[in-house]
């Protein structure tokens, strides 16, 4: 059913683009309706065909097709958004009927220009966002402890070894005490990421590398992703906690998608309760891939002082971010929920097209501050 819905939406987007663009004067004169329709049909088939070919193992053909098809996903979205905007302004051409088709043509050109800009932005390395967090209960001797947070790596056919090696070098340069991966380590298909396990082993920190499952990890198969991660030295927190250092606990919950796939009657709030059960140390950090407001409220009520999330990608391609923001009020950046700080990263990698508009990907570097350290307490923000 899910695949049928996706393919139906995909087909309707192409049909709408073909219908509206066929009336643009210079397209009608130089291209024609039939060649335009054929081109859109072929472009629409690229990504599904690539996914089909990936299953039997035709990676030599599937990977370049998938890359091209993913880029077309981004281009089509921008094209749809631009042309739809002109239809809204002109009431489908009812206002200014002679000018509306020309306006749609200019909108299409603007969409292509934005797509090129998004490709350039998506190919640039993620920026590093620095945060200082006053973590309640953090022992004075742990003041200044540094975490580096990666999320949404989406390792697989579209994000490979060179990109991952560059991100590991970027993390190493930040000299973290611990590294955490806030979900979506891999993309839909784990097979495309298996060859990256050796490279992933180079990601290290004195207090370890830790991770939680994201929704894409659930799609790829949670048990397989856990084995892949642990084989690379990454410790996965599945509705449990671990003592990072004395006085500081790191906890993690499965993504709601994994809870749904498990077929149990568990919910996210109970997953938080399970992860944070037991004796409370002085300070607690919770990893939750999805920045769900209910998860944040439950974590704050259970005594967590900091929650780290990803998932939203900051919308990745404008104006899609406005829709994502409606679903996730904890969208990107820093929030305060019932006395607990929430940091939502835009993700280091990309899902689908290697495109970002307007914000680059990001890596978070967090310096924890203790109120019990008098020389540093005034610096905490």
From residue 21, alpha-carbon distances to 40, 62, 85, 253, 339 in Å are 11, 29, 13, 46, 52
* CB burial of residue 356 (10 Å; 0-12, 13-18, 19+): buried
Task: Quote the CA–CA distance of 184 and 186 in Å, as a whole number.
Answer: 5
Looking at residue 282, its pLDDT comes to 78
Q: Which among 262, 255, 301, 259 is positioned nearest to 280, based on CA atoms?
A: 301
Distance, in Å, from the CA atom of 83 to the CA atom of 42, rounded to the nearest integer, reads 21
User: Given this model, what pLDDT does residue 377 score?
Assistant: 41
Which pLDDT does position 72 carry in this prediction? Answer: 96
Closest CA to 361 of 315, 325, 323: 315
Which strands sit side by side in the sheet containing 333-337, from one edge to the other? Answer: 240-245, 248-253, 283-288, 306-309, 340-344, 333-337
> What is the C-alpha radius of gyration for the chain, rounded to an integer number of angstroms?
23
Give me 308's structure tokens: 């780290």
Beta strands in 266-332 (DSSP E): 283-288, 306-309
Would you state the pLDDT for residue 266? 60
Indicate the burial class of 332 (C-beta count within 10 angstroms; 0-12, 13-18, 19 or more): buried
* Pairing relationship of beta strands 146-150 and 306-309 according to DSSP bridges: unpaired
Inter-residue contact 283 to 318 (CB < 8 Å): no
CB neighbour class for 240 (10 Å; exposed up to 12, middle 13-18, buried from 19): middle
- Residue 331: in which H helix or E strand, if any? none
Long-range contacts of the stretch 291-295 (C-beta < 8 A, 24+): 291/328, 291/330, 291/331, 291/342, 291/344, 292/256, 292/268, 292/328, 292/330, 293/329, 293/330, 293/337, 294/268, 294/269, 295/253, 295/268, 295/269
Q: Burial of 12 by CB count in 10 Å (0-12 exposed, 13-18 middle, 19+ buried)?
A: exposed
Q: What is the pLDDT of residue 358?
A: 92
The whole-number pLDDT of residue 188 equals 83
Q: Among 179, 150, 257, which Cα is nearest to 214's? A: 257
Give pLDDT tens digits along the chain (381 positions).
767 888 899 999 999 999 999 999 999 999 999 999 999 999 999 998 888 887 666 777 888 899 999 999 999 999 999 999 999 999 998 999 999 999 999 999 999 999 999 999 999 999 999 999 999 999 999 999 999 999 999 998 788 899 999 999 999 999 999 999 999 999 988 888 999 999 999 999 999 999 999 999 999 999 999 999 999 999 999 999 999 999 999 999 999 887 666 655 468 888 999 999 877 777 999 999 999 999 999 999 999 999 999 999 999 999 999 999 999 999 999 999 999 999 999 999 999 899 999 999 999 999 999 987 765 444 444
Which three-class secondary structure state does DSSP give residue 164?
helix
Nearest to 22 by CA among 111, 115, 106, 104: 104
Which pLDDT value is given to residue 258? 79
Which structural domains are found in the chain, ordered by start? 2-123 (no CATH), 127-377 (3.60.21.10)
């Amino acid at each position: 059913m899910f695949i049928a819905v996706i393919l139906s939406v995909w087909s309707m987007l192409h049909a709408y683009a073909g219908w509206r663009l066929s009336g643009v004067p210079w397209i009608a004169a130089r291209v024609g309706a039939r060649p335009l329709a054929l081109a859109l049909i072929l472009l629409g088939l690229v990504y599904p065909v690539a996914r089909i070919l990936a299953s039997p193992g035709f990676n030599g053909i599937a990977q370049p097709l998938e890359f091209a098809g993913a880029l077309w996903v981004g281009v089509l979205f921008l094209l749809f958004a631009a042309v739809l905007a002109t239809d809204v302004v002109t009431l489908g051409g009812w206002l200014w009927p002679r000018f509306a088709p020309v306006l749609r043509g200019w909108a299409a050109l603007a969409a292509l220009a934005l797509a090129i800009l998004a490709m350039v932005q998506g190919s640039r390395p993620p920026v590093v966002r620095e945060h200082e967090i006053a973590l309640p209960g953090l022992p004075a001797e742990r003041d200044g402890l540094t975490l580096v947070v990666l999320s949404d790596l989406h390792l697989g056919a579209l994000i490979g070894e060179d990109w991952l090696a560059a991100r590991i070098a970027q993390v190493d340069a930040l000299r973290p005490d611990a590294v955490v991966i806030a979900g979506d380590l891999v993309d839909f298909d784990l097979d495309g990421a298996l060859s990256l396990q050796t490279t992933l082993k180079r990601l290290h920190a004195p207090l370890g590398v830790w991770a939680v499952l994201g929704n894409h990890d659930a799609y790829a198969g949670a048990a397989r992703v856990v084995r892949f991660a642990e084989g690379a030295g990454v410790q996965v927190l599945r509705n449990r906690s671990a003592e990072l250092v004395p006085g500081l606990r790191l906890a993690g919950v499965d993504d709601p998608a994994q809870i749904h796939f498990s077929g149990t009657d568990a919910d996210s709030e109970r997953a938080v309760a399970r992860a944070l059960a037991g004796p409370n140390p002085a300070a607690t950090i919770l990893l939750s891939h999805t920045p769900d407001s209910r998860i944040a409220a439950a974590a704050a009520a259970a005594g967590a002082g900091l929650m780290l999330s990803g998932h939203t990608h900051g919308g990745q391609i404008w104006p899609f971010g406005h829709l994502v923001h409606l679903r996730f009020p904890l969208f990107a950046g820093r929030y305060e929920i019932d006395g607990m700080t929430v940091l939502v990263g835009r993700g280091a990698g990309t899902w689908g097209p290697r495109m970002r508009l307007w914000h680059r990907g990001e890596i978070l570097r967090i310096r924890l501050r203790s109120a019990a350290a008098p020389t540093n307490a005034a610096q905490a923000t």
